Structure 1
């Protein structure tokens, strides 16, 4: 498939449990003559279309954090400008851009016409339990440990349950058989932690999990990622921590720490579940994270 216009709108028809597809006629009617709208059936078709766009074109993604994550490699490879119409279950990237809650048509007009600004991108490299090397990029979060186990559980949740309620449902389910991992964590060459941990997650945005203020100090254009590290917790302790995470008061807890970093290494003695922007990736024993400062030109407020 070849797409020639320098402004292209890509709608993920599977976003919001398939409800995003209903927007197609409305968005098509609102498009200017020099823009085109596509609804790729799968990731392969979407990536092919993105690679076919003229370098430096503007693409507007209609979807959520997972949609952005899956399409991000082609956006970066082709140096495309990115606009966002939030239509996902989490929308933490849209929150960081000041776009969450905008009506689709208003968001579309803004995404097509407003100026861009630089946004940092996270990069992850890891070895799976079989020793194979993997790489990924992300915009909002890269989770390791309990958070990623929660992401995996959300995939089996009721279809009618979305956003933060779905995340909370999965969290409570994962608490029923809580697991910790023995981790060695090093940031910017400085050793931070050795021992049991509930998770070691890294954020580019202030929120994750559909609006939870995990790292309020995070900024998308400061050239840094932000580690959120949770030490050992039992079921009751983790359950008691959940309301604090929802309100941003978790950072005062003695077993919760944060650290801004440019590079991070996490080594686990057992298989550690991983997820990027709410997309489950698999398991690792060795993980390295770094930041690509200002790698993406994105439309925000």
Structure 2
């Protein structure tokens, strides 16, 4: 009989500090979820191989950060697996976007194992050199002004910008911005949101000191530059590219999080299987 869920721990997350959770997580599972195995692998290839043998819709409680989820996305999507994220990496912006970062690891693990899941959107990024999926954020920075198309329509960027973010979840708040200025980006709205980052003096001259540049919703985004752009995807640096295209894959992955309104993770009872 297949297990109701599997816990996958990335021992390399948070520069190796997540590996220290192996014993306490194993002890917690023995007490609260004895039918749930704890898996760990020393490499991305071996971790993906562990996921390929699981039945579709198996729940994976994934302990790690943005990089862990990003690395596991190919296997998670191919296998039709469900995900409960336990933020345990150096960067946990996806967990923050799903409002899981305020939970300690025991409560986050309980939520990952027991809470309902619902679909979230996934992005598909294609550059000159690669094609890959992402869950949270693409950053682009170029030596020359960027050319931007949203939904096959070219936009005139004023002021010209050399930096932008393509967000599937709320991006981090900029220094000095109050929390209420968080962008209205949702994980399940079937859209990406493009945020241009012009130099702050130009931004304040155009938009005023109390506003940020608008986040433009899009189902497809294309960016080009005369010279290669630097790209970062959920914390992973990619090879420079002169072009990048992002398409949204609506509801491609099932996850726990704040987009599931029927359960408050802070009130989840400590129950066993």
TM-score range, shorter chain: 0.7 to 0.9
Residue deviations 1:238-294 (CA, integer Å, cap 9, x gap) = 9x98xxxxxxx98825xx342000001111100101111111112111111010111
Aligned to 1:89, the other structure's residue is in SS state coil
Match of 1:184 in 2: 147
Whole-angstrom CA distance in 2 between matches of 1:96 and 1:46: 24
Q: Is the CA contact 2:146–2:162 (under 8 Å) kept in the aligned structure 1?
A: no
Whole-angstrom CA distance in 1 between matches of 2:48 and 2:172: 25
Relative to structure 1, the CA distance from residue 136 to residue 250 in structure 2 (aligned partners, 3 Å threshold; closer, same or farther) is farther
Residue deviations 1:100-134 (CA, integer Å, cap 9, x gap) = 12111111111111110111111111104xxxxx1
Q: Aligned to 1:296, which of 236, 253, 257?
A: 253
Match of 2:72 in 1: 71
Query: Any residues of structure 2 matched to 1:267-278 within 5 Å, and which?
Result: 267-278=224-235
Match of 2:192 in 1: 225
Whole-angstrom CA distance in 2 between matches of 1:250 and 1:199: 20
Number of residues of Structure 1 aligned to a counterpart in Structure 2: 248
Whole-angstrom CA distance in 2 between matches of 1:140 and 1:17: 20
Query: Any residues of structure 2 matched to 1:251-262 within 5 Å, and which?
Result: 252=211, 256-262=213-219
Q: Aligned to 2:170, which of 191, 201, 206?
A: 206
Residue deviations 1:224-246 (CA, integer Å, cap 9, x gap) = 00001134x3xx849x98xxxxx
Query: Any residues of structure 2 matched to 1:1-301 within 5 Å, and which?
Result: 5-31=3-29, 32-128=33-129, 134-145=130-141, 180-193=143-156, 196-208=160-172, 216-231=183-198, 233=199, 237=201, 252=211, 256-301=213-258
Aligned to 1:124, the other structure's residue is in SS state strand
Relative to structure 1, the CA distance from residue 52 to residue 209 in structure 2 (aligned partners, 3 Å threshold; closer, same or farther) is farther
Residue deviations 1:11-51 (CA, integer Å, cap 9, x gap) = 11111111111111111111112211111101001111111
Q: Which runs of 5+ in 2 are unaligned?
A: 259-273
Q: Which runs of 5+ in 1 are unaligned?
A: 129-133, 147-179, 242-248
Whole-angstrom CA distance in 2 between matches of 1:50 and 1:219: 27
Q: Is the CA contact 1:90–1:210 (under 8 Å) kept in the aligned structure 2?
A: no
